[in-house]
Amino acid sequence: MKITDIQFGMLRVPLKTPFKTALRTVERVDDIVVMVHTDTGHVGFGEAPATAVITGDTHGSIVDAIRHYIAPRLIGHEVADLNRITHLIQASMEKNTSAKAAVEIAVYDLWGQLYKAPLYQLLGGGDPVITTDITISVDYIDKMVADSISAVERGFESLKIKVGKDIGVDIERVKAIYAAVEDRALLRLDANQGWTAKQAVYALQTLEDAGVKLELVEQPVKARDLEGMRYVTERVHTPVMADESVFGPMEVIELIRLRAADIINIKLMKTGGISNAIRIADIAGLHGIDCMIGCMLESSISVAAAVHVAVAKADVITKVDLDGPSLCQYDPVDGGVNFNESEISITDAPGLGIRQIHGLEPIDG
C-alpha cells in the first residue's frame, strides 16, 4: 500500500451553542480535512482546525504546509513503513503542528486499514469504551449554571468550566456551579491562560477555603510562564494541569524537571499527531504523571484518532476531554467512533473506521 496523492476539503459544522473561552468565541467548526490516497484504493482521513490563537495555524498555512512541504516527502512511500513516514512528517518543517497532525492521523488510519485492525489494537489494545467531560463555555453565571445542570442531566459526570475573564466573577461562577451540581459531577477549571500566577493562587485558595472541591485547574497562566505555573502548583491543593505550555516531548521533559504542573494535557494538534502524543504519554508514565487527552474544536474525524490513543494509553491517560463532536449540531461522518453524549466507543472497523464524510467543500490548488 503506497501513498499516491494527498487531497483537501473544507468541513463546516455549526455548534449547538457558541464556544466561549478567555481567548476566543467560535460558532462553528471550520476544519481542513486531509485525504491520503493509495495505490490500493484505500483512503486515510485526517483533520486540522485553524486555532491561530494557540497553535498559530490558519487554514491557508495548513494547506500550504501539507501541499508544499509534507506531501512531496510522502508520495511513493509504503504505509507499512510507519516510523519512517512519521519521521518525514515531523522533519518536514518547523512548527505547523496541526498540519502535521492531520497527515499523521490519515497515515495511521491507513496503517490500521493495511493490517485490517482498529487503530487502538495496533497501538496496544485496551477497553474500547471511554467517557468524556463536556465544556461549559464562559458566560453569565445563570447561563453557566443552567448549562451545567443540563449536562449533568444528560449523563456527564465531569464538567470543564471555562474561566479566566474576570477573577471576581470567575470565583462566583465556580461557586454557583458547584452548589448547583452538588456531588453529581467533578469540576475541572480551564482558565486558558487568563490569570496571572498571583490571581490564580488567590482564586484557587478562595475556592478551596469555601469548600469547593475541584478535580483540577488547567493552564491558569500564560503558556510560556513556566515559573508562574510552578508558583501556582506549589501553593494550591488543586492539581494544576499544563495545556498550552506543552506542545511536544521536550516541553514535557522541561515541565517535569521544573515540577511546574501535576498533569499534562495531550492534544494531537499541539503534538503534531499521534507519534509524539505516544511519546509524551510514555515520558509522563515513566515519571508517574497522569495525562488528559483533549482536542481543539474538531469534528469526529480527528477526535476519533485521539480516542484510539486514549484507549491504548489508558494507564497514563486517565482523563478525557474529547467533547468536540458533542458540541456540534450533527456528526458529518459515517462510520468511525461512536459519540453518544459522555460515552465514546470504538467499533471493530479497521483504522479509524471512517466510511464517508458528508458536506466536504473541495479545496482547489
Task: Return the active site residues.
Answer: 162, 267
Integer Cα distance of 38 and 293 in angstroms: 30
Give the helix, strand, coil percentages of the chain, each rounded to 5.
40, 25, 35
Binding residues for substrate: 24, 135, 160, 295, 297, 321, 323
Q: Which stretches within the chain are classed as H helix?
A: 59-65, 71-74, 82-91, 97-114, 119-122, 141-153, 167-181, 197-209, 226-235, 249-258, 268-271, 274-286, 300-312, 324-327
Give the integer Cα–Cα distance in Å for 156 and 144. Answer: 15
The Cα 232–Cα 344 span in angstroms is 33
Of 275, 288, 342, nearest to 315 by C-alpha is: 288
Q: Which residues are annotated as a binding site for Mg(2+)?
A: 190, 218, 243
CA 139 to chain centre: 22
- At position 279, the amino acid (one-letter code) is R
* Residue recorded with cell 484557587: 204
Q: What secondary structure does DSSP assign to 212-274, as a single string? A: ---SEEE--S-TT-HHHHHHHHHH-SS-EEESTT--SHHHHHHHHHHT--SEEEEEHHHHTSH
**C-alpha distances in Å from residue 274, one per residue of 131, 203, 236, 240, 364:** 20, 35, 32, 24, 27
